[in-house]
Structure 1
């Protein structure tokens, strides 16, 4: 687009950044991308890996939030449904439609209420392109086969699925393409405020070195640490508060063969999803548990595992137990504290708080992955008064994320093209590469198998690992196995150890942390 300024960060002169973004989750990376595309000089710092906390611990849904209608969150649901349509178009490789089956339980919400809510869900977004809701007879419909005979009627509706941590990385990659400097494993220690500029002290958590940078504005997208950053690191008071809620998930061997997901109502009125996952598994979640401990150290409890198993066993013929769980993950959602007494009822809306008593700082409270792009637009709009460079036109609604510049209907054709180009790839490998990287898969695959290098297992080659190190800030086996992909579900301990050894050798001789499009580490610490 002509309104986007694409520059190389290597050409940037030693001057204050327009924006220092703190936090490499979905909101921080989305904001960095939008700001860089408007012509701002952007530095993003993330204390760990990109998407290493909340943004990789979601239920992986791009959705309006059907249950939020029950709490009258009509504006939030409408905005999310509109964003769902946009995201399906700009990232068809990592976001795709999915049908959800909602079995009706006589002891919970009445059928008329579900039907009314789904009618609103179908019509709050006037540009909806996905199939609308249909009533199903679970006794005869294929979607009822995995369910117990107690459930005779239900509804099927549309929503979207996303590879959440990849969504974060793709936003960071595009931000880097547009000139942003993306620094992972870099922590903001403190920042001193002047009338026009911030002086921020940053710690490289790998080398232990510190440096000071200047910025005209700070955007605090630190997620669970948003309030701590304000109070302890920059000394800014805010009336807004964050409420931490732990959401946990379990992964079990595949419960059903069909492609649709299930949304299950529980007696406590919470919702649990059972979703096809990585072809061979079923993802079950989530819980809503208040959390008051370190948000960086969170794991599922035995009680949560039992709760999720019971939720599934209430509906499905095939039962699961804690012994069936092959993987778990948990994350802390930093929700805006609206003083709700029920963790499940806490709003998923977001609040943007600007303090401009000196150089401005904007803090992001709350939000959900589906609305990250709109949140970024709203955040920059709030800063335009102080940073006119951000006043350019909004541009992210129609611009594909890296690898996503093809129509979703062309996905299978792209897989076939990749196999034709690299015939040594198995259908499963070709499918996975296009599903993860879109058209960038053609940068990874080679016509000759010998050029793919070492194979670590689970279809992972050295060629792909090198791509992730050079372009996607991967620095450890964990980064690749659990955030850039979910291949950790398929690899043996020995294969994982071999991958870690290879990465240590590569990273040790190739020090910059970042994308080939944003090799700024050496420059920034010099």
Structure 2
């Protein structure tokens, strides 16, 4: 890994913000390097509630600009990635003791109209006696409201941005940590360490981008940060945890549940056979890499959901959990309630006469990642003397080039083409890879042509693709981030798959080794 290269941008962090900026910049012809000390989307960006949404509750905090931008982005992203993003309808049961009906109607009216909604259906009031979503709810729930938002496979959204960036010339280095960054004349000297070999590599760049997510403040800590910086970061780390239980209902509607503490929790159909419930908001201290749910959070989510569903949920029902740390920008204030700290993003430029500039990315939410990247490129373009030419709004992500952005039409087409493939398998592959399913299937004529089966519907052809094209190295990369097959595979099957991935080391470095 020795050697020196010169880049326009060196981006630290392989979450959604880093990957989004890398893609936008590479598409404008900038020479980009992105380094990530672990796997892509290995922290916050794979631990969201998996929603592309405006944030209905943010209206109560008067964050109208954030909500408007997020609502506008819903439909942009629907067109950009119809394989991993799709519409959902959310049911909000009415509770007189929490919010009056007129307030909810007003909020939903604003939600329907703030973002220029065109594709998604409007909100409406419903009676649970007449609506399918009423069946699983407790009898005291008699009426509610339905509105629209969207689902996203968050970890795959990160990977697709990184893939597109790479296709346009960016260098994407996973398992590569920035261990030093210093200004040198008009630019930056950066030392990168390969986490697998321990080798260092020196690179130089005109501009540095700090997109390290929950580590963004540590990176520039004046006492022990690896980046020499004058910028102060007032970051508040907030843990959000989710639980997954066997499915609680047999319909496609989602629920948004209010709670007496002012928070809301979602219950969402998940991976066909499960229900995803979350999220919590708990202040966090410590290493974000070691974040995990605690029993109080599990009890909180179970109790809240059980207050709405007829069938109670206990911790014994939980089949999987995940937690992430949100790096919220706290500004100059000290908001006591973590759930009230803004989810908006802040970009801080550190530059002296356009020499060796650095841009620090604080906060943000997955829904507005593309706009964040555009705003970052406005600043970057000015600092580097480049033309500011936005382009991502009308360009699909890899695999998203369905005719008329229609997943349903694409499914019918591929079902006819791969008539030998089980419909459940086709749905999973098409939802994950879109039209790039063709690169996995190749000229296979039967399922046996895909090679060894590792369990469920995972075959060698898909494993090979993930290693070669999507930076997969370890078991969690494959079964929890590129897919959710960890919910399907047995312990023995996972052990065999882990051994299969170990065969790639150290000789095969996949696309991560540029």
Q: CA deviation at 1:199?
A: 0.3
Distance in 2, Cα, partners of 1:195 & 1:136 = 64
Aligned counterpart for 2:118 among listed residues 115, 125, 128: 128
Q: In 2 relative to 1, CA 289–431 (structure 1 residues): closer, same or farther, beyond 3 Å?
A: same
Aligned counterpart for 2:83 among listed residues 89, 93, 111: 93
Q: CA deviation at 1:408?
A: 6.6
Indicate the residue corresponding to 1:78 in structure 2. Answer: 68
Matched, 1:426 2:422: yes
Matched, 1:63 2:60: no
Indicate the residue corresponding to 1:472 in structure 2. Answer: 470
Name the SS of the counterpart of 2:166 in structure 1.
helix
Aligned counterpart for 2:313 among listed residues 312, 320, 336: 320
Distance in 1, Cα, partners of 2:125 & 2:448 = 52
Indicate the residue corresponding to 1:484 in structure 2. Answer: 482
| More deviation, 211-220/140-149 | 140-149
Indicate the residue corresponding to 1:188 in structure 2. Answer: 178
* Deviations, residues 288-329 of structure 1 (Å, cap 9, x unaligned): 000011111100000000000001100011111100000000
Distance in 2, Cα, partners of 1:127 & 1:247 = 29
Name the SS of the counterpart of 1:234 in structure 2.
coil
Matched, 1:162 2:152: yes
Distance in 2, Cα, partners of 1:412 & 1:497 = 35
Instruction: Determine if contact 1:336/1:365 at 8 Å carries over to the other structure.
Output: yes
Aligned counterpart for 2:372 among listed residues 371, 375, 386: 375
| More deviation, 406-415/461-470 | 406-415
Name the SS of the counterpart of 1:414 in structure 2.
helix
Instruction: Determine if contact 1:201/1:211 at 8 Å carries over to the other structure.
Output: yes
Distance in 1, Cα, partners of 2:497 & 2:61 = 47
Name the SS of the counterpart of 1:360 in structure 2.
strand
Distance in 1, Cα, partners of 2:186 & 2:194 = 26
Q: CA deviation at 1:271?
A: 0.4
Matched, 1:341 2:339: no
Indicate the residue corresponding to 2:227 in structure 1. Answer: 234
Name the SS of the counterpart of 1:70 in structure 2.
helix
Matched, 1:385 2:382: yes
Q: CA deviation at 1:31?
A: 0.2
Indicate the residue corresponding to 2:491 in structure 1. Answer: 493
Name the SS of the counterpart of 2:377 in structure 1.
helix
Instruction: Determine if contact 2:92/2:146 at 8 Å carries over to the other structure.
Output: yes
* Deviations, residues 133-177 of structure 1 (Å, cap 9, x unaligned): 000011222121111111111100000000000000000000000
Q: CA deviation at 1:393?
A: 1.2
* Deviations, residues 203-237 of structure 1 (Å, cap 9, x unaligned): 10000001110000000000001111112111212
Aligned counterpart for 1:153 among listed residues 126, 143, 146: 143
Matched, 1:244 2:244: no
Alignment of 1:275-314 (within 5 A): 275-314=268-307
Q: CA deviation at 1:127?
A: 4.1
Indicate the residue corresponding to 1:524 in structure 2. Answer: none
Name the SS of the counterpart of 1:506 in structure 2.
coil
User: What RMSD, in angstroms, separates the aligned Cα atoms of the two structures?
Assistant: 1.4
With the length of structure 1 as denominator, give the TM-score of the two structures. Answer: 0.94
Name the SS of the counterpart of 2:467 in structure 1.
helix
Indicate the residue corresponding to 1:7 in structure 2. Answer: none
Indicate the residue corresponding to 2:8 in structure 1. Answer: 18
Name the SS of the counterpart of 2:406 in structure 1.
helix
Distance in 1, Cα, partners of 2:350 & 2:320 = 42
Aligned length: 503
Task: Write out the 4+ residue segments of structure 1 that deviate beyond 6 Å after TM superposition.
Answer: none
Instruction: Determine if contact 1:122/1:128 at 8 Å carries over to the other structure.
Output: no
Distance in 1, Cα, partners of 2:463 & 2:302 = 35
Distance in 1, Cα, partners of 2:403 & 2:128 = 33
Indicate the residue corresponding to 1:523 in structure 2. Answer: none
Name the SS of the counterpart of 2:289 in structure 1.
coil
Indicate the residue corresponding to 1:503 in structure 2. Answer: 501
Instruction: Determine if contact 2:79/2:405 at 8 Å carries over to the other structure.
Output: no
Unaligned runs of 5+ in 2: none
* Deviations, residues 327-373 of structure 1 (Å, cap 9, x unaligned): 00000000111321110000000110000134000000100000000
Q: CA deviation at 1:239?
A: 3.5
